[in-house]
Structure formats: C-alpha cells, structure tokens
C-alpha cells in the first residue's frame, strides 16, 4: 500500500494491523442480529477527532466482511465514497482503504458479516443450557475485524455506543449484552442501546445474546447466566465484590463503573475474557466449592493491567498477562492467605516449565518480547507471557521489597491509564523510576525480555500445603492403598488434588488407576481441572472406564486449555488417531474458531 505523508497523524504501527490514518476516537455501531441467517448487519460510523483540512487516506482492518456502502458523515444519505479492499491475507484479512475528503468529520460503513465470521459463535439451543439459541463474540487477538471494520490493534482506543436489534420469533426472549453499560432485563421489542464511556481497543469489543437472567451481588457487581446455570453461578461467585475491594486496596480505584460476570455456554474457548464491565467466563469453573475462582480474580485484575494500561502490540502481550497473573495471586493471597496463593504459584510455574520444554528452552518463543509478525498472534498467547512475566515481577519484588513495588505499580496504572505501553517504554520507565543502578544491574532486564528460558535468579515457589500431597504420593508409591490415604485428603482443595494427579507416575497401570478411581471417584468428578489432569493418565494406561466420560467432556467443553492436551493424549494412545478423528468430527461444531484453528492443525499434523 502507498505510504502516507510523514506529516499525517497516524494510527500507531502494528505488525498485525493495516490501520493507518487520522485518529478515530469514537464509534457508533448499529447492528441487526439475525439468528436464522447467522449474520450481523448494519453500520459502523467512525468519528474523527477533528474535521480534515485536506483529503486523507484512512485504512481499516476487515476480514470476510461484505461492505455494502461507504458514506461521508454520521447519518445515512451522506455522500457515497469509493473504497478498495486489498487481496485477502490468511492472518490479517483485508485492508479497507478510503480517501476521506477535506471537511470530513465521520465515516459511515454499511456492511454485513459472513456466517463463518471467526469472532462469532452461533449456538443452537441444544448447545446451551436452555431452549434458546445463543451468540457470543471473541475478539481477542485480531478477530474484531471479522465482525466490524475497525483499527484492530490493541494500541488504538475509542469510546463507543451501539444500538442493537434482535430479529426473529424469539426477539422478546433474548437479552443482548456488550462490554459496556448493560441492561439487566430483557426488552420485549428486542432492541437495546449501549454506551462505553471509557476508550477501549477493538479486542475488548464484545457482544453476547441469549436467554439470560441477572442476579445482583452488590451495588456494582452481579452475574448474568442462563436460568439453569444462574443459581450455581450466584453461589460460586458470591465473593465477587470482595475481590473488587481487594483489588482497589492494592492498586487504586476501579475505573469502569460496574463489574459483572457473564457465564457463557461450555463452548467458550477460554477460561475467561476480560471484556470491560462484563467479564465472559466459562462454566468449567463452576466447581461448586469456589475452588476455581482465581480465574475470576485474573480477569478482574485485567481491569487494571490490560484494559487500563494496554500492550501496544501483541508482541508486548506479556505486559498484559505477566502483570495480571502477579496481580491475581496477590488478590488470592489477600482473600485466602499466602499458603493458597503459593499453591497457585507452584502450579503456574509447573505449567511454565512444561511450555518451555515443548517450545525448547533456547527457543526465541520463550522470550517475553515476542516477534510475531507474519504469524497469527494467537500463537504467542501461552504460558511464557503469563508465568514468565509474573516471575519477572516476583524477582523485582524480591529485589526492591513489596512496598516499593506496590507503590510503583499503583503509580504506573494511574500515570498510564487508558494508554498503550510497549516493552521498551516499560523497561525504561521501570529502570528510571523504581530501580537503583545496582538493582538494575542485578535484575538484568535484557535477559528477561530478550533471553530464552528463565534467568538463574528467577525465584522458585514452594508450597507448604503441597508437602503433604507429596508425602501422600510417596506413600502411594511405597505401596500404601488409596483407601488408607482418604483421611488426609478430606480437606484438600482443587489445587492440592491437581498437584496430586500431576505427581502420579506415568507408568501407573489401569489397575492402579482403578483403585484410585474407586476411592476418589475422579472419573465422575464435576471439576473440569481435575478431569483434565485425570484423562491423560487414563489414556496412557488404557483405563477404559474413563472413556465415556472423556468423550462426553470433549463433546461438551470448548475450552482450548483443556482440549489441546487431551487431544494430544488421545492421539498418542493406542488406536487414538481414529478415536480422535471420530470424536472431533462430532464435537467440532461445538468449538469456537479460536479452538478449531489450533485443533485442525493438530489433527492434520498427526496424519503426516
């Protein structure tokens, strides 16, 4: 594409975005939701910061959108404009280019989504907990462009308002929600209006539509869920407001008004998505004992790290997630004590070591600063950004002390609120404002940011509560029966059971698993984390009584964190390739595109 004049105010450069041109501070979205055709149609009107003094190019991101009309101004009937679309790119989609005339203050783009839009998942009633269809979006990392033309870069922020209309026979029974100020009851005419007063990047645009009810938890927190799910969700997240208060005590005021949760159907590909005002969460964390709510603490922490101060590009993703994991564990420590947070840290570091082993300890993919140009940024969103980023902050904490680090983080969130942050800028700010020269030398920040693996000074967590678990594992290995271990396991948390399952030897036989299962009923567990740790053991040992539960899990659950290791374990088992293909063929329609993109490649590679 031809370059713009150096004097032109540009949207920030991003290797995963075509966007160029004048800043676009506000979006007005008008959408019609058609479940029968599985499309969104309407218009996206982008407001300019000020009238243009001369003709200027604007370039936006799109992918598989049908552009119907482009007009100057913010109302229908404006002057039509010619536009062009670049050749499709498998990762980036198409660049939408238009020449804006002098005097332009807004651009209105009428368009329609394709039924296969990657951000949109349309669910039939049988795929939900009720009797009605469901729609939800997943815009991160660069999928917002599949449901509206936009500057699809985390470095570009805008406020937005939206008018949404649901059409079809169920319009009066379905509630629409967005990452904005939301209604709490269904509109009989199927029409809803939204406003997000704080500037957000495109990946935080979110929409969900379904048969949903609302339960308040406090004056500023509550739960949306399908009616059958709401009672369990309300009990599971009863301490949500305490989490918000704990966050504020740590790092300053919550800046987004309300904080509500939406429990999605099980096909949601992630544990959670930190959409402003309305975090999307998976029902796989509804364990019945609040043992998996650290995920909610993580998504809530994004209201500061990520939503408030945002990675400039996906190469800087660790700035979102490293801070958020550190923040999450501080929240859980404040609410439930240091021993609980230590368990989370040990499990997280174990995940990190596993990821580094898969990637190769000397691989550039283990650097905190990523180089994802030419690749789908989703490929870089793994435990390196999360857990290595957290370990960097824990190393700084050990170096300067927690009070100094807390003061720095609080000031950092306040100073850079609603701004983008890149790795170099952060490194410079950390070095100038927090670290002495001696401390900076000891930290060796370049080794963390641009070096492979973990620097030797990285701390290693220990958990006193896991010592008892390790003792139980040693006794089991020495011949103690599972039944004899029951008295010491009655008060174990989900994390202790997960550590126990991870610690079982890979050589355990089907008979050994049968004895464990008879005592602890792992196959019948309602805890998704435990099932995800149990099923690979069963597959490796050929423990057939778990087969039906595994297949049910894979057909119902769409969370990629679970699916990828389970399909890998299935593919590695005797006769597993044929089973994996059969299950995947049945289950694939229930998975989001974020999951199927990864799993398609995994199964394709297995055939080579």
CATH of the domain at 363: 1.10.390.10
Q: Give yes or no: residues 173 and 66 share one domain.
A: yes
Question: 359 in a domain, yes or no?
Answer: yes
Angle among Cα 528, 533, 539 to the nearest 5 degrees reads 115
Question: 275 in a domain, yes or no?
Answer: no
Question: 463 in a domain, yes or no?
Answer: no
Rounded-to-integer distance, Cα 370 and Cα 387, Å: 15
Confidence of residue 91 (pLDDT cuts 50, 70, 90): very high
- Res. 401: pLDDT tops 60: yes
386 is catalytic: yes
The CA–CA distances, whole Å, from 501 to 255, 469, 531, 532 equal 40, 10, 10, 10
Q: Give yes or no: residues 444 and 526 share one domain.
A: no
- Res. 35: pLDDT tops 50: yes
299 is catalytic: yes
Residue ending a domain, choose from 429, 450, 471:
450
Judge if pTM exceeds 0.85: yes
> According to the model, what pLDDT value does residue 595 have?
93
Q: Give yes or no: residues 158 and 42 share one domain.
A: yes
Question: 597 in a domain, yes or no?
Answer: yes
Question: 111 in a domain, yes or no?
Answer: yes
| Residue in 192, 386, 412, 543 annotated catalytic | 386
Rounded-to-integer distance, Cα 151 and Cα 16, Å: 10
Q: Give yes or no: residues 413 and 309 share one domain.
A: yes
Task: Report DSSP letters for 53-108, one per residue.
Answer: SS-EEEEEEESS-EEEEEEESSSTTPPB--EEEPPPBTTTBEEEEEEEPTT--EEE
Q: Give yes or no: residues 445 and 557 share one domain.
A: no
Rounded-to-integer distance, Cα 417 and Cα 292, Å: 29
| Arithmetic mean of pLDDT, 271-283 | 97
Question: 248 in a domain, yes or no?
Answer: no
- Res. 524: pLDDT tops 60: yes
The residue behind tokens 């370990």 is 391
Residue ending a domain, choose from 160, 178, 198:
198
| Other Cβ atoms within 10 Å of 170 Cβ, number | 17
Rounded-to-integer distance, Cα 397 and Cα 394, Å: 5
Q: Give yes or no: residues 436 and 529 share one domain.
A: no
Query: What is the span of the domain harbouring residue 586?
Result: 504-606
- Res. 1: pLDDT tops 90: no
CATH of the domain at 80: 2.60.40.1730
Contact of 418 with 308, CB cutoff 8 Å: yes
Q: Give yes or no: residues 430 and 527 share one domain.
A: no
pLDDT digits (tens, 9 = 90+) for 187-205: 999 999 999 999 999 999 9
Q: Give yes or no: residues 508 and 435 share one domain.
A: no
Return the structure tokens found at 437. Answer: 């020269």
Angle among Cα 541, 544, 545 to the nearest 5 degrees reads 120
Q: Give yes or no: residues 153 and 4 share one domain.
A: yes
What SS3 class is residue 166?
A: strand
User: In 3D, which of 56, 550, 532 has the Cα closest to residue 285?
Assistant: 532
> According to the model, what pLDDT value does residue 379 have?
81
| Residue in 236, 239, 299, 498 annotated catalytic | 299
Q: Give yes or no: residues 20 and 162 share one domain.
A: yes
Its sign, for the CA torsion 252, 255, 258, 262, is: negative
pLDDT digits (tens, 9 = 90+) for 413-439: 999 999 999 999 999 999 999 999 999
Question: 531 in a domain, yes or no?
Answer: yes
> According to the model, what pLDDT value does residue 11 have?
61
CATH of the domain at 578: 1.25.40.320
| Arithmetic mean of pLDDT, 170-183 | 97
User: In 3D, which of 491, 499, 534, 471 has the Cα closest to residue 342?
Assistant: 499
Q: Give yes or no: residues 319 and 431 share one domain.
A: yes
Question: 46 in a domain, yes or no?
Answer: yes
Rounded-to-integer distance, Cα 203 and Cα 213, Å: 26
Residue ending a domain, choose from 435, 450, 465:
450
Q: Give yes or no: residues 22 and 99 share one domain.
A: yes
How many distinct structural domains can be found in the chain?
Answer: 3
């Amino acid at each position: 594409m031809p370059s713009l004049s150096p004097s032109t105010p540009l949207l920030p450069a991003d290797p995963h975005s075509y966007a160029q041109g004048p800043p676009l501070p506000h979006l007005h979205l008008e959408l019609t939701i058609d479940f029968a055709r599985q499309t969104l149609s309407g218009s996206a009107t982008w407001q300019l910061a000020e009238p243009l003094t001369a003709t200027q190019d604007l370039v936006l991101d799109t992918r598989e959108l049908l552009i119907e009309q482009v007009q100057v101004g913010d109302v229908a009937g404006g002057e039509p404009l010619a536009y062009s679309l670049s050749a499709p790119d498998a990762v980036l989609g198409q660049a939408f280019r238009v020449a804006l005339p002098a005097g332009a203050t807004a651009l209105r783009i009428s368009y329609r989504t394709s039924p296969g839009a990657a951000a949109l998942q349309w669910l039939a009633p049988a795929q939900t907990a009720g009797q009605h269809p469901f729609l939800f979006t997943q815009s991160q990392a660069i999928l917002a462009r599949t449901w509206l033309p936009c500057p699809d870069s985390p470095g570009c922020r805008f406020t937005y308002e939206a008018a949404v209309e649901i059409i079809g026979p169920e319009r009066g029974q379905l509630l629409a929600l967005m990452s904005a100020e939301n209604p709490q009851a269904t509109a009989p005419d199927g029409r809803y209006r939204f406003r997000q007063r704080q500037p957000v990047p495109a990946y935080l645009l979110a929409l969900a539509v379904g048969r949903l009810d609302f339960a308040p938890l406090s004056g500023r927190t509550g739960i949306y869920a399908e009616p059958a799910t709401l009672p369990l969700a309300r009990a599971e997240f009863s301490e949500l407001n305490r989490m918000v208060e704990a966050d504020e005590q740590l790092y300053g005021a919550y800046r987004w008004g309300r904080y509500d949760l939406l429990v999605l159907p099980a096909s949601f590909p992630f544990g959670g998505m930190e959409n402003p005002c309305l975090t999307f969460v998976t029902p796989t964390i509804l364990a019945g004992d609040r043992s998996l709510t650290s995920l909610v603490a993580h998504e809530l922490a994004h209201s500061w790290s990520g939503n408030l101060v945002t990675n400039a590009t996906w190469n800087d993703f660790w700035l979102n997630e490293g801070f958020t994991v550190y923040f999450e564990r501080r929240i859980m420590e404040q609410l439930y004590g240091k021993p609980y947070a230590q368990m989370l840290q040990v499990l997280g570091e174990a995940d990190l070591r596993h990821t580094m082993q898969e990637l190769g300890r000397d691989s550039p993919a283990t650097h905190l600063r990523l180089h994802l140009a030419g690749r789908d940024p989703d490929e870089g969103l793994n435990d390196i950004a999360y857990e290595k980023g957290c370990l960097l902050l824990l190393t700084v904490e050990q170096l300067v002390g927690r009070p100094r680090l807390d003061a720095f983080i609080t000031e950092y969130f306040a100073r850079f609120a609603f701004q983008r942050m890149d790795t170099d800028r952060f490194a410079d700010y950390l070095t100038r404002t927090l670290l002495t020269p001696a401390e900076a030398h000891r930290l060796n920040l370049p080794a963390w940011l641009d070096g492979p693996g973990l620097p030797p000074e990285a701390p290693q967590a220990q958990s006193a509560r896991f010592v008892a678990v390790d003792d139980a594992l040693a006794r089991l290995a020495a011949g103690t029966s599972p039944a004899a271990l029951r008295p010491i396991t009655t008060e174990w948390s989900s994390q202790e059971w997960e550590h126990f399952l991870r610690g079982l030897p890979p050589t355990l036989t089907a008979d050994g698993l049968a004895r464990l299962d008879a005592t602890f009923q792992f196959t019948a567990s309602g805890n998704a984390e435990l099932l995800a740790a149990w099923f690979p053991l069963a597959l490796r040992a050929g423990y057939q009584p778990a087969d039906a539960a595994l297949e049910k899990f894979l057909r119902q659950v769409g969370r990629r964190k679970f699916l990828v290791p389970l399909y890998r374990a299935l593919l590695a088992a005797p006769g597993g390739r044929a089973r994996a293909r059969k299950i995947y063929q049945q289950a694939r329609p229930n998975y989001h595109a974020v999951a199927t993109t990864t799993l398609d490649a995994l199964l394709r590679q297995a055939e080579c």
